[in-house]
Amino acid sequence: MKTAFGKLTGSAVMDKVAEYREVGRDAFLAQYAGGVTSRTTWLSVEGELFPAKAIFAAAHVPSVAPKSFNTSDTYRYSRELNFELVVIEKGRVKSTRSAIDDLDELSGSDVPTKQLYFGERFIRDAKVRAKVIERANGKCEHCGGEGFKKPDGGIYLETHHIISLAKQGPDSEKNVIALCANDHREAHFGADAEHLEVQFKSKLAELNSAKKRRITRSAD
């Protein structure tokens, strides 16, 4: 989509979510938001919350400062790009959901639908992510392609919970697969996402079996 500040896409937003996870909150906010985080408005991805204005600002091409646009703009961005916002006000949580399957949105509205709920923020174990990235050894565990090289010389891959934490999936190596950015986007937004989930489960079963065989051989 085009905004008053440039171009903004769902893929770019997910790239910045991945970067936030990779570098951590403080480094991300220092680079894109002057070290300032969100107070009330958060982007919800896979049950995890991210500062909405900072993510949307960084995802713009070219990137802009969060103060360049209003909080109300984040509602429009999330609605048009099919993301979910979580607004926390006075101890209450409001979920402003995307309109992927909402026929009411077809009539057009400047005010996004809000739904009250009480939720949890799922905290991922950084050690699990590190072990999965190490296991992948620079290659996507689905397509086998190599991730791209980062400025520090490392290889960039993303981690994906096959059964999301929001659906009670375990935060362990047995449920997390390392993917290239393209396959990760397809897993979330592709028409074949359910089939991919089956393939991911099969691949992890192979990896776990291979790990058990290595452990058995080393014990002999």
Residue 204 belongs to a domain with what CATH number? Answer: 1.10.30
| CA distances (Å), origin 31, targets 23, 66, 156, 158, 214 | 10, 11, 19, 20, 42
Residue 55 banded pLDDT, cuts 50, 70, 90? very high
- In which region does residue 125 sit, left (phi positive, over 0), alpha (psi from -120 to 50) or beta (all else)? beta
Question: Residues with Cβ < 8 Å from 177, sequence gap 6 or more?
Answer: 132, 141, 142, 159, 160, 162, 200, 203, 204
Q: What is the dihedral of CA 87, 17, 160, 136, to 10 degrees?
A: -160
Which residues form the domain of 83? 10-116
pLDDT of 87-145, one tens digit each?
Answer: 876 545 555 544 333 333 334 444 444 443 334 445 567 788 889 999 999 999 999 99
User: Which residue bears the tokens 């005010």?
Assistant: 111
Read off the pLDDT of residues 173-187 as tens digits, 9 standing for 90 and up: 888 999 998 888 888
Residue 59: pLDDT over 80: yes
Give pairs for 206-214: CB < 8 Å, separation 24+: 207/135, 207/141, 208/173, 208/174
Which of 116, 146, 178 marks a domain boundary?
116
Give yes or no: residues 81 and 178 share one domain: no
In a domain, 190, yes or no: yes
Residue 81 lies in a domain: yes
User: Domain check: are 167 and 74 in the same one?
Assistant: no
Q: Which pair of structure tokens corresponds to residue 187? A: 């897993």
3-state secondary structure of 120: coil
